[in-house]
A and B are shown apart, each in its own frame.
Chain A
Amino acid sequence: MNNGDFWTLLKKSGYQFGSTLNMNSIPGATAPFPVTHGTTILAFKYQGGVLVAGDRRATAGTTVMYDRTDKVIDIDRHSVMAIAGVPATAFEIARIMEHTFKYFRRSQLQELSLDGKVRALSRLLKENIPMAIQGIGAVAPIYAAYDLSKKEGKIFFYDILGAEFEGVEFAVSGSGSPAVRGILHYENRWGPQPLSRVSEESAIVLTIRLLETASEFDSATGGVNIEAGLYPLIKLVTATGTREISLDVLENLFSRNIKSNPIRS
C-alpha cells in the first residue's frame, strides 16, 4: 500500500544513500582522511517569519573551491534547508527531502506535517552516520519552516548524527558560527528589540553584518565582494511562502547601511 514514503520507493528502485564504505577495507587506501570544510549558516525569527542565510564560499582544505555556492535550498513552498558540511551529501539530502515532501503531498493529497518533515531530515542524517563518522560525509543543517497550522515560523538544527533541536529564537551552524552565535544572543537579549520584532529590512542588514563578521574570523566563510556582486544568500520563510532577497535589494541595503566605523582617523 502506498503510504507516501518516497524514501522507501527510492530504495525499492535500487537507490542507495549513505554508503557503509570503510576506508580501511580498501586496498591502498589510507585511514580515514580529514576533509576540512567550513561555512556559516544562520537562521533567526524576525517580524514576518524566519530569515535563513548562508555565505557563498565552498572550500577544500585551504583552497577556495567556489564563491557562489547556494547554501540555502528551497525544500518546498514553506520551508528551506541551510547546509553546513560536505556539499555532496548535503545537496543529496536536500534533493531527497524536496522529492519526499512533494511525493507525500501529491500521493496522500495533504501536506506532510511539520513534525514529519523535521523527522525526515533526522532520519536521513541517521542513515548517513557511517559516512559522517568516517569524516567524509558529515552534514549539520538548519531546517526552517513556516507552520501554517500554528501560524508561526520554526527553526530546527541538527547534529551530524541526526539529533534534532528546536532553535527557539535562532540557530547557527558551520565553522564560522561561534562568531555570530554570541552576537545573536546579545542582540536578542540586550539589543534595541528582540530579534522576533525586527523588521524585514533590519533583519537583512543585521544578517549581512553577521556574515561579514564571521568571514573576518573564519577563513572558510566568504564575505561580501562588491566588485564581484557577491553577497550572502538570504531567504525569508513567511506565511506566503519562501522568498529570496534579490541582488538589487542586497546591494542597495549594503550601500546604505553597512558602513564600518572609522577605526583610524
Chain B
Amino acid sequence: MLEEPYRWIEAVRNRREYLEEQLSSGSPVVALPYQDGILMATVGGGTSKLYEVYDQIAFGGLGHPTDLEKLRTAVLELAHVEGFNRSPADVNLQRLIKFGIAPVMKQAFEEILHAPFISKLLFVELTHPSGQPLFVKLDYDGLFEENGKFGILAPTEEIEKKMIAYLRSQEETRTLSLKPVLQIALRTWAVSLHPVPPEGAEDVLPVSSEIDRLLKEKLDHFTPEIALLDKTIPGTSKFKALLQDEIQPRIREWLR
C-alpha cells in the first residue's frame, strides 16, 4: 500500500475523517490568563481532564482516555528527565511540543498501519521565556498552534470559531481576578452547547441568559473542573486543581 501514493493519501484522509468523528463529542477546554496566572476550565463526567505537567506547565485534553494517558505519561517523562538532567529552567513548552510530543503525534497519525492518537491537547505555560503566558493547541496529526492570549480546545472547527468569537466579545481577562475569569471561561465553554445552525444560515452568538441556561442544564448532570497555574503559590510548582468546595460558591452566585 505504501508504495502507492494515492492509496496512502486516501488512507490518511479516511483516518482524518475517523478521528474528527471520534472527537466530535468531546468536551472543550478553555484556558485564560488572569491577574495571578492562568485558569483552565472544562466540564465533564468526573474523570479529570486537566493535568499538571511541570512546575509552570499544564495541559487539558479531549479524546480517548487511554490515548490521553499515553501522551500525558510521555510528556511527563520528557519534562522530568530534562528538568533533572539539565535544570527546571530548561523545561519549556516550546521545546516539549516541538521536539517532544508533536513529532510523536504526527508519526502516529501518518503511520497508517498503526493506530493514531485519538486526542487533541491544549498546553499552557505560566511564564514563557518571553515573560508572557503561552497557549499551544496540539492536534491529533501533530499540528500545533501557538497563542499568547488564550487557549481554546474544541471538538470541531465550527465550535472553536464560535467559542473564540464569544471570548473576543468579552473584556480582556489578563488583569481580572479569579472569579470573573472563571465566569468568562465557563460561559465560553457553554457556548459550545449552542446548536450549530443549518448550512447556509447565519451563526449568531447566544445571549448571556441563553448561555447561562445551557450551562446550568449541563451542570445539573456534569461537574466543572478548574485548574490554575498560580504564580502566587510559594515554591516551584504553580499548579493547583480547585476542589468543588472552592468552585461551587464562585458559580452559585451568578448561576441561579
Contacts and interface: CB of A to CB of B under 8 A. Distances in A.
B112 interface: no
Most buried by A among B72, B80, B83, B237: B80
Given A102-B237, A106-B51, A109-B48, A95 B84 contact: yes
B84 A99 contact: yes
Nearest to B87: A95
Given A99-B84, A106-B51, A109-B48, A77 B237 contact: yes
Interface string A67-100: 0000000101100000000000000000110010
Interface in B203-256: 234-237
A103 interface: yes
Contacts of A254: none
Nearest to B75: A106
A6 B83 CA distance: 12
Contact of B81 (A9, A76, A106, A242): A9
A99 B51 CA distance: 17
Given A2-B73, A106-B52, A77 B84 contact: no
Contact of A9 (B48, B53, B54, B77): B77
Nearest to A102: B237
A105 B85 CA distance: 19
Most buried by A among B54, B76, B83, B236: B76
A95 B86 CA distance: 11
Contacts of A242: 234-235
A36 B82 CA distance: 34
B52 A15 contact: no
Nearest to A103: B80
Interface string B45-56: 000100111110
B80 A241 contact: no
B52 A10 contact: no
A107 interface: yes
A10 B73 contact: no
Interface residues of A, number: 21
A243 interface: yes
Contacts, number: 46
A172 to B, nearest CB: 26
A13 interface: yes
Nearest to A98: B236
A74 B235 contact: yes
Contact of A6 (B73, B80, B235): B80
Contacts of A10: 81, 84
B235 A9 contact: no
B234 A107 contact: no
B235 A107 contact: no
Interface in B64-103: 72-73, 76-77, 80-81, 83-85
A77 B235 CA distance: 7
A96 B51 CA distance: 22
A99 B76 contact: no
B73 A107 contact: yes
Nearest to A244: B234
A99 B48 contact: no
B199 to A, nearest CB: 42
Contacts of B84: 6, 10, 15, 95-96, 99
A106 B235 contact: no
Interface string B84-127: 11000000000000000000000000000000000000000000
Nearest to B52: A106
Nearest to B73: A2
Nearest to B241: A109
Contacts of A2: 73
Given A106-B51, A106-B52, A241 B234 contact: yes
Contacts of B83: 99
A77 B236 CA distance: 9
11 contacts: A6-B80, A9-B77, A10-B81, A10-B84, A13-B81, A76-B237, A103-B76, A106-B53, A107-B76, A109-B48, A241-B234
Closest 8 A/B residue pairs (Cβ): A99-B84, A103-B80, A106-B52, A2-B73, A13-B81, A107-B76, A77-B235, A106-B76
